[in-house]
Amino acid sequence: MSPYSHFSEIAIDLTNGKLSCVDLVKFHLSNIQQKKHLNAFLSVYEDEALARAVSIDEKIKKGTAGKLAGLVVGLKDVLAYKDHPLQGGSRILEGFNSMYNATSVQRLLDEDAIIIGRQNCDEFAMGSSNENSAFGPVLNDIDNTRVPGGSSGGSAVAVMADMCQVSIGSDTGGSVRQPASFCGVIGLKPSYSRISRYGLIAYGSSFDCVGIFSKSLSDVALVLQVIAGADDFDSTVSRKAVPNYSKALANKKTEKYKVACIRETIDSTSLQREIKEAISHKISKIKAAGHIVEEIDFPLLEYILPTYYILATAEASSNLSRYDGVRYGYRSKGTHDLQSLYKKTRAEAFGKEVQRRILLGTFVLSASYYDAYYTKAQKVRRLIREKTKEIFKEYDVLLMPTAPTTAFKIGEHTSNPVEMYLADLYSVQANVAGVPGISIPCGTDDEGLPIGLQVIADDFEEEKLFRFSDMLMQLN
């Protein structure tokens, strides 16, 4: 069986009886087995997925199946799936099984999607390479000596290597878009609050977004349509009506777009040469198609990354305080009182990068430095959001690289955290501002490694994001 490009093709063949859900599940299970060395999956729900496939095949015959019947989905190890392991890529949640479904997971199941397994990720979604997982690094399928990006590296590789049709990940500072770029797939971070965070392990609560991976833009649009929307379990989720994203994408109306490019992102000396050339080529194609592309300045650009790391680590320090070895998960055996239980459990079970971010976050929240760092970063964040939204008063979308480089070598940046953090240089703006962003494939570099192009739009303008991205992908 060959992989399908779009879920719509799968749906047609399922309806016509040319294909069964069982066939699909077996195909993906076979790929998971053949490529297990990539370490993309931590758990594979083989028997359960096959049993669910049989049940959904019966529903299809009766005409009662949901709109995602036959869609095989993988879940990043930060999303709750009832009675299944949930560890956030960390030892500290060793042996923990979720007691409920995340809202996004429940909505997938309600529409008859098939969950095939739990995917590897950087510990607690903290990382840009998927080297921080307690279960070992995920390998890039194109070149096994390269990283897949992070933190949702396992989710990106699973789609890249046809281990599932769609993956659900999370994006706090680029953790869907950057691995999508490194793996040559599509990765969406929707507007903050577009998808409920209920059942998503918290890293930075004011940044975290549930995101979607696929090779097909139409698949991403359909899944967003299903899992987005109001939720009584999440007080921060938007109650705005969810548009019909699939219909908006299918409507091939002729539109002329006005596109902004931040000059400093393209002219930066940190941008890999091939990425600059690929984006410049794409911009020339956009102009040739009759659209307007203009370079603009964004004077706050240099403050985005430090603002993100101050605020996200502060929130991580607070969120991760609940993992103490008392109630669930890993507990150190060499303890003699409550204080030693806390210290030894957290020292033994949290990885070095998580410890680093907890320490940094605790520092910026301390009484002596709270105003100097945390309060000031909140003010700067507000300015960044306001300046970003000003762009969309004049322009339809903002175009920039997804990442400054293509996939780097495993171990290349592990000794220098600052080098690793710079991998998020272009992706964090959408998170700091809370606006939607998507990474789409844009060719390859001289070594055949994928290049990602990022499109950002205003709050809740995912429809425009999809239509513009679709137009871009047609321009070769």
Taking CB atoms within 8 Å and a gap of at least 24, the contacts of 285-292 are 285/475, 285/476, 286/257, 286/259, 286/472, 286/475, 289/471, 289/475, 290/256, 291/256, 291/257, 291/258, 291/259, 292/256, 292/257, 292/258, 292/259
Q: Active site includes 196?
A: no
The Cα 237–Cα 230 span in angstroms is 6
**Residue 313 is encoded by which pair of tokens?**
């680590």
The Cα 297–Cα 152 span in angstroms is 31
The CA dihedral of 382, 387, 388, 389, to the nearest 10 degrees, is 90
- 76, 189, 215, 464: which is the annotated catalytic residue? 76
Using alpha carbons, select from 440, 436, 446, 471 the residue that is nearest to residue 210.
436
- Rounded to 5 degrees, φ, ψ at 220 are -60, -45
A 10 A CB-CB count for 295 gives 13
The Cα 362–Cα 421 span in angstroms is 19
Residues 74 and 158: beta-carbon distance below 8 Å: yes
Q: Active site includes 104?
A: no
Question: What's 420-473 look like in SS3?
Answer: HHHHHCCCHHHHHHCCCEEEEEEEECCCCCEEEEEEECCCCCHHHHHHHHHHHH
Helix locations, 289-366, DSSP H: 301-319, 338-349, 352-365
Q: Active site includes 128?
A: no
A 10 A CB-CB count for 273 gives 9
| Three-state SS at 376 | helix
- 104, 129, 151, 214: which is the annotated catalytic residue? 151
* DSSP code string of 221-254: HHHHHHHBS--TT-TTS--SPPP-HHHHHH----
Phi/psi class of residue 136: alpha, beta or left (left: φ > 0; alpha: ψ in -120 to 50)? left
| Maximum distance among all Cα pairs of the chain, rounded to whole angstroms | 72
Residues 387 and 395: beta-carbon distance below 8 Å: no
- 152, 155, 175, 469: which is the annotated catalytic residue? 175
Hey, what amino acid is at 193? S
The Cα 422–Cα 461 span in angstroms is 27
Using alpha carbons, select from 127, 195, 117 the residue that is nearest to residue 155.
117
The residues annotated with a catalytic role in the active site are 76, 151, 175
